[in-house]
A and B are shown apart, each in its own frame.
Chain A
Amino acid sequence: MSSDYRQQLEEMYDSVVGEYSDRAVAVLEEVVRMADVHQDVEWSFYAREALVQSATYSGHGDKALVAFSWILAQIDKNPEYEDEFEMDHLLWVYKWIADSLLGFSHISKAQILAIVEDMDRRYRKQGLSLRAVENIRYKVACEFAEEENVQKHFSRWETLPKDGSQDCLACETNFVVNHYLFREKNLEQALLIARPLLEGEQSCHSVPGRTQSNLMLALLKAGRMDEADQMQRKSEGYASHNGDRIHSAGKHLQFLALTDQLSRALRIFEKMVAFAITSREERNRHMFFRGARLLFMKLMDQGHRTVKLRLATDFPVACDEQNQYPVPELVDWFTHEAERVAHLFDARNETVSYGEELIEDLALLKESYPLST
């Protein structure tokens, strides 16, 4: 049993490290189990670290979080690991984890705040700037619709120093863009700030794809159709790619439904729906379902009773032998899911915004947004 398993571990690890897919996550989970069985602490850490990354980037925030909490606990119990382990990196990852908690309706506000406190404490202990923590506080305030706090945390965030523990440059720019877009409702300013992202000067794993997916809807609502169309086409590749993108994919479904580009929307739907159905990242999945709901409503409005879809078999709505799905049932299923989850979030947040969004979606569907051809 001695070094034999190590070789096996290494082989499995090497074969997927740096890959972001369900398969990579499954293999890394197996590596974790094997390392744990052999009480190989070094590999237990190592594999979980890779798992956190792979799971985050493939839409399995739940798995990332469990692996992450294990690492934290081990370090607390055995402070000597702190020297061996890259604490700065671990804390850098903390913000993904803390951020992801907001997206699960069964995690309470108190629980989230306790984690932010924990993050704060660890950042201080490590002597890091609190910029990343403030960033999370801002996001918490947004989620719970605490308008004064939103402003307060944004101003504070701006003044805190960058020491490498904050988000990458592209993500930070994206963050500011979102602030102007969603909080200040100032599209002009948002576009201006987004320039380095749109011109390719700054980019990362999720930016500018995510930025463009947000801007396209804002441009649409402002009636700037040509620009909106461009944004959509540029970011479609991003949004129809992997399990960590279902949130953006949902926005694309929405956009394409509103602009009456249904066959393009169906293509994205086919590509991404399996990720969305199996995802446990509730808020992201919700965005996808919202988009899907609009898509099938639009199809129904246009008189389509059935639609042909190529899907994995474990889809909740049944089809006939020719892969024909009944549109009304699809509408019902996605509406039901979207309403159910919206209710859960509004209940936790003590807000009404999730519910209102669904109503607003219906209103948008009544408008027409023709693209000039």
Chain B
Amino acid sequence: MQKYQFQIHLGGIIDLLSHHLYSGPQVFIRELMQNGVDAIQGRKLIDEEHQGRLDIQVVKATGNQQPSLVFEDNGIGLTEEEVHRFLATIGESSKRADLAKQRNDFIGQFGIGLLSCFMIADEILMITKSARQGDHPAVEWRGKSDGTYEVRLLETHVSPGTRVYLRASQGMENYFDIEQVGKLVHHFGNLLPIPIDLSEGDRRKQINDRRPPWEGVYYSSDEERRSYLEYGRELFDQQFIDYIPLRTETGGITGVAYVLSQATRPKMKSRHRVHLKGMLLSDQVENLLPDWAVFVRCVVNAEQLRPVASREGFYENEELEATRTVLGETLRNYLKGLADQAPQRLQEIINLHHMAICSLASEDKECFRVFGDFIYFETTLGRLTLGECRQRNGILRYVSTVDEFRQIAQIAASQGLCILNAGYVYNQELLSMLKQVDPDVQVDKLDAASLTNHLEDLTLDEREGAFLLLRTADLTLHPYRVASDIKKFEPASLPTIYTSNEQANFARQTRLTKDIVDDTWGGILNSFENEFTNSQYAGLCFNLKNPLIKRLTKVEETSVLKQAIEMLYVQALLMGHHPLSDKEMALLNQGLLGMIESVVEKKEDPNNEV
């Protein structure tokens, strides 16, 4: 069978690579710098002493000439043969592993970066002179976006290195404005170890004249702190409360993690500014740190991680995974160090980034041991740290849902009982971690409904007195699936408590929903109600210490009692954040009207006491 080769439509491929791989035209500056830096690195391999330099000139538009840019490096240059082989072959690169012994020396590796220039220019002109072969003449290469190119040898003397000339294509003039170029060069290249000069006419300026704080030498820790924090503030335009220097073998990371001064929320992602060998990859990298580490924002330089082809993020590979683990370790150690040396600051960080800290402590025994006591819980006595809770109580008691917590909060508080709300994320994990770390602590789950069992009972006489009230309540509330009870408890101002559990709540929700659905669904919800939820009663417990309830036990007229009970029930629902059904809403309305009426009647006839 005859074999054919794929035919390639060059113009199409160039268009695809240049316009669709990268996030936007601005990356051509990065790609040119990258090639320059690699070329200088190549030259250093043959001449260690070589001082690299990048020079960028902007030439303003004149008359009908579009503005242009000249990108110059004093790197390794190319011979004619290399021009054909590397420059003009898409996907070929002098930096592939088998060609360059250490791929690690270079940033480039895909052999497509130069194509990005076609996003802003129709033609690339390059003049290059090889430093490897002194007698080889300089080469001029002219590449066009339709995929054709010309090569010509030059007779003039040119010093080793490469110059790239680009003239703005229609509509791309912006990228040739000196301000814009300056910004982009700074954006991508401010950490590059090679000086970059930008000039226009006789204006000239070094762009990357400032080194990052982790390269500095400091005489005092104050000075170090100031330098780090100032760098962070300028770079990210925000304040940070602390910094954590980062340095790892794996991935070859150096840099710093800044602790955010604004509260973070769970599942938020932190975006980091990440460089590869000094060149900015992206300031939106998300996969650098473990998931829990949302409370910091990093700027780092990596020497070894592998970029994806667009060079805007890292390849998710084992090395990145390992790097992430090591960085996570660093952050962990930092927090543990604080517990020892600056507990105040640790508390501050925990306050701001509570969720992140909880998530870490709920997974990691050692971390829990170190700062578990700093973590906050909502309790019936207010917000307390776990440490405070443990100091106060021999036994830690908690309820497992937010709803139950609300039911019991007021009573428990007035009884001086400390009960933890474990209805939020991580709470229960943290408590079970506590048990693992310290098997001697007793941690008990409490059921809201059973709390009323612990309240003070009535005397026999009192029971007798309350009999009619309870009986009437049972009859009145039966249609709402509520059972009544009576106890004595603080605060006396509270006439009733309404308790329900998961099942009773679900039963209630089913009934409410049944009211609004069509017949088909109504039948189904009905079956559910009968099957599972009919036996589920919520509870309404009266408080005999409450003056109103006390008075009600003296009332003998059941119609009055009934009305009062209905109102108390609706009030209890509202206090417990339970939506009302239509029937309950009607109770509320009738009750209110009744009250208004009796008030008005009283006014009209002052002798008429109810």
A residues sitting closer than 8 Å to B (CB atoms) are: 11-12, 14-19, 23, 26-27, 29-30, 32-34, 36-37, 62-63, 65-67, 69-70, 72-74, 76-77, 101, 104, 106-108, 111, 114-115, 118, 280
- Tell me which residues across on chain A come within 8 A of B423, comparing CB atoms: 23, 26-27, 30
- Are A19's CB and B425's CB within 8 A? yes
Q: How far is the CA of A303 from the CA of B528 in the complex (A)?
A: 42
B:486-539 near A, CB below 8 Å: 502, 505-506, 509-510, 512-513, 516-518, 520-521, 523-525, 527-528, 530-532
Q: How far is the CA of A32 from the CA of B403 in the complex (A)?
A: 12
Min CB gap A284→B, angstroms = 15
Interface of A is mostly: helix
B265 within 8 A of A: yes
B401 within 8 A of A: yes
- Are A69's CB and B521's CB within 8 A? yes
- Starting from the known contacts A63-B506, A106-B527, 5 additional A-B residue pairs (CB-CB under 8 Å) come to A19-B425, A33-B509, A69-B525, A73-B518, A104-B528
Interface centre among B518, B521, B528, B530 (most CB of A within 10 A): B521
Interchain CB contact (< 8 A) of B402 among A12, A19, A32, A73: A12
- Are B578's CB and A65's CB within 8 A? no
Q: How far is the CA of A27 from the CA of B406 in the complex (A)?
A: 13
Q: How far is the CA of A278 from the CA of B218 in the complex (A)?
A: 62
Q: How far is the CA of A114 from the CA of B524 in the complex (A)?
A: 10
B:560-590 near A, CB below 8 Å: 574, 577-579
| 20 A–B pairs (Cβ distance < 8 Å), ordered by A | A12-B402, A15-B424, A16-B425, A17-B267, A26-B401, A26-B402, A26-B403, A26-B502, A30-B401, A33-B403, A33-B509, A34-B577, A62-B528, A66-B509, A70-B516, A70-B517, A72-B517, A106-B527, A107-B524, A111-B520
- Are B523's CB and A106's CB within 8 A? no
- Tell me which residues across on chain A come within 8 A of B524, comparing CB atoms: 65, 69, 101, 107, 111, 115
- Tell me which residues across on chain B come within 8 A of A11, comparing CB atoms: 265
- Are A73's CB and B578's CB within 8 A? no
- Tell me which residues across on chain A come within 8 A of B109, comparing CB atoms: none
Min CB gap B378→A, angstroms = 12
- Are A106's CB and B530's CB within 8 A? yes
B355 within 8 A of A: yes
B282 within 8 A of A: no
Q: How far is the CA of A26 from the CA of B403 in the complex (A)?
A: 8
Min CB gap B58→A, angstroms = 48
Task: Write out, one digit per residue, whether chain B residues 283-315 have a CB within 8 A of any chain A CB (1) or not (0).
Answer: 000000000000000000000000000000000
B422 to A, closest residue via Cβ: A23
- Are B579's CB and A33's CB within 8 A? yes
- Tell me which residues across on chain B come within 8 A of A280, comparing CB atoms: 532
- Are B531's CB and A69's CB within 8 A? no
- Are A66's CB and B578's CB within 8 A? no
Q: How far is the CA of A17 from the CA of B401 in the complex (A)?
A: 16
B residues sitting closer than 8 Å to A (CB atoms) are: 265-267, 355, 400-403, 423-425, 428, 502, 505-506, 509-510, 512-513, 516-518, 520-521, 523-525, 527-528, 530-532, 574, 577-579
Q: How far is the CA of A14 from the CA of B425 in the complex (A)?
A: 10
- Tell me which residues across on chain A come within 8 A of B510, comparing CB atoms: 66
- Are B403's CB and A30's CB within 8 A? yes
B426 to A, closest residue via Cβ: A15
- Tell me which residues across on chain A come within 8 A of B425, comparing CB atoms: 15-16, 19, 23, 27
Interchain CB contact (< 8 A) of B579 among A36, A62, A104, A115: A36
Q: How far is the CA of A18 from the CA of B403 in the complex (A)?
A: 20
- Tell me which residues across on chain A come within 8 A of B424, comparing CB atoms: 12, 15, 27
Min CB gap A345→B, angstroms = 14
A11 to B, closest residue via Cβ: B265
B510 to A, closest residue via Cβ: A66
Contacts A66-B528, A69-B524, A106-B527; A14 near B267 (Cβ below 8 A): yes
A69 to B, closest residue via Cβ: B521
- Tell me which residues across on chain A come within 8 A of B401, comparing CB atoms: 23, 26-27, 30
- Are B578's CB and A37's CB within 8 A? yes
A101 to B, closest residue via Cβ: B524
Min CB gap A85→B, angstroms = 16
Q: How far is the CA of A101 from the CA of B523 in the complex (A)?
A: 12
Interface centre among B355, B509, B523, B574 (most CB of A within 10 A): B509
- Are A29's CB and B505's CB within 8 A? yes
- Tell me which residues across on chain B come within 8 A of A115, comparing CB atoms: 520-521, 524
Min CB gap A56→B, angstroms = 15
Going nearest first, the 4 A-B pairs with the smallest beta carbon separation are: A36-B579, A15-B425, A73-B517, A69-B521
- Tell me which residues across on chain A come within 8 A of B512, comparing CB atoms: 36
B265 to A, closest residue via Cβ: A14
Min CB gap B266→A, angstroms = 6
Q: How far is the CA of A19 from the CA of B266 in the complex (A)?
A: 12
B509 to A, closest residue via Cβ: A66
Interchain CB contact (< 8 A) of B577 among A33, A63, A69, A70: A33
Q: How far is the CA of A107 from the CA of B526 in the complex (A)?
A: 10
Q: How far is the CA of A293 from the CA of B473 in the complex (A)?
A: 45
- Are A23's CB and B518's CB within 8 A? no
Q: How far is the CA of A182 from the CA of B45 in the complex (A)?
A: 69
- Tell me which residues across on chain B come within 8 A of A33, comparing CB atoms: 403, 505, 509, 577-579
- Tell me which residues across on chain A come within 8 A of B527, comparing CB atoms: 104, 106-108, 111
- Tell me which residues across on chain A come within 8 A of B530, comparing CB atoms: 106
- Are A32's CB and B521's CB within 8 A? no
- Tell me which residues across on chain B come within 8 A of A62, comparing CB atoms: 506, 528, 532
Interchain CB contact (< 8 A) of B428 among A16, A23, A36, A63: A23
- Tell me which residues across on chain B come within 8 A of A15, comparing CB atoms: 266, 355, 424-425
- Tell me which residues across on chain B come within 8 A of A29, comparing CB atoms: 403, 505-506, 509
- Tell me which residues across on chain A come within 8 A of B506, comparing CB atoms: 29, 62-63, 66
Min CB gap A164→B, angstroms = 25
- Are A104's CB and B531's CB within 8 A? yes
Q: How far is the CA of A29 from the CA of B531 in the complex (A)?
A: 21
Q: How far is the CA of A334 from the CA of B401 in the complex (A)?
A: 30
Min CB gap A26→B, angstroms = 4
- Tell me which residues across on chain A come within 8 A of B523, comparing CB atoms: 111, 114
- Are A76's CB and B525's CB within 8 A? no
Min CB gap A347→B, angstroms = 14
- Tell me which residues across on chain A come within 8 A of B403, comparing CB atoms: 26, 29-30, 33
Q: How far is the CA of A37 from the CA of B406 in the complex (A)?
A: 15
A10 to B, closest residue via Cβ: B265
- Tell me which residues across on chain A come within 8 A of B577, comparing CB atoms: 33-34, 37
Q: How far is the CA of A19 from the CA of B516 in the complex (A)?
A: 29
Q: How far is the CA of A30 from the CA of B400 in the complex (A)?
A: 13
- Tell me which residues across on chain A come within 8 A of B400, comparing CB atoms: 23, 26
Min CB gap A233→B, angstroms = 25
- Are B517's CB and A69's CB within 8 A? yes
- Tell me which residues across on chain A come within 8 A of B528, comparing CB atoms: 62, 65-66, 104, 106
- Tell me which residues across on chain B come within 8 A of A18, comparing CB atoms: 267
Q: How far is the CA of A66 from the CA of B514 in the complex (A)?
A: 9
Min CB gap A243→B, angstroms = 14
Q: How far is the CA of A280 from the CA of B536 in the complex (A)?
A: 14
- Tell me which residues across on chain B come within 8 A of A77, comparing CB atoms: 516
Q: How far is the CA of A114 from the CA of B574 in the complex (A)?
A: 36
Interface centre among A32, A37, A101, A108 (most CB of B within 10 A): A37
- Are B402's CB and A27's CB within 8 A? yes
- Tell me which residues across on chain A come within 8 A of B517, comparing CB atoms: 69-70, 72-73
Interface centre among A69, A107, A114, A115 (most CB of B within 10 A): A69
- Are B266's CB and A14's CB within 8 A? yes
Q: How far is the CA of A66 from the CA of B513 in the complex (A)?
A: 7
- Tell me which residues across on chain B come within 8 A of A76, comparing CB atoms: 518
A62 to B, closest residue via Cβ: B528
Q: How far is the CA of A104 from the CA of B423 in the complex (A)?
A: 29
Min CB gap A273→B, angstroms = 18
Q: How far is the CA of A69 from the CA of B509 in the complex (A)?
A: 11
- Tell me which residues across on chain A come within 8 A of B355, comparing CB atoms: 15
Q: How far is the CA of A118 from the CA of B423 in the complex (A)?
A: 37
Min CB gap A25→B, angstroms = 9
Min CB gap B258→A, angstroms = 24
- Tell me which residues across on chain B come within 8 A of A114, comparing CB atoms: 520, 523
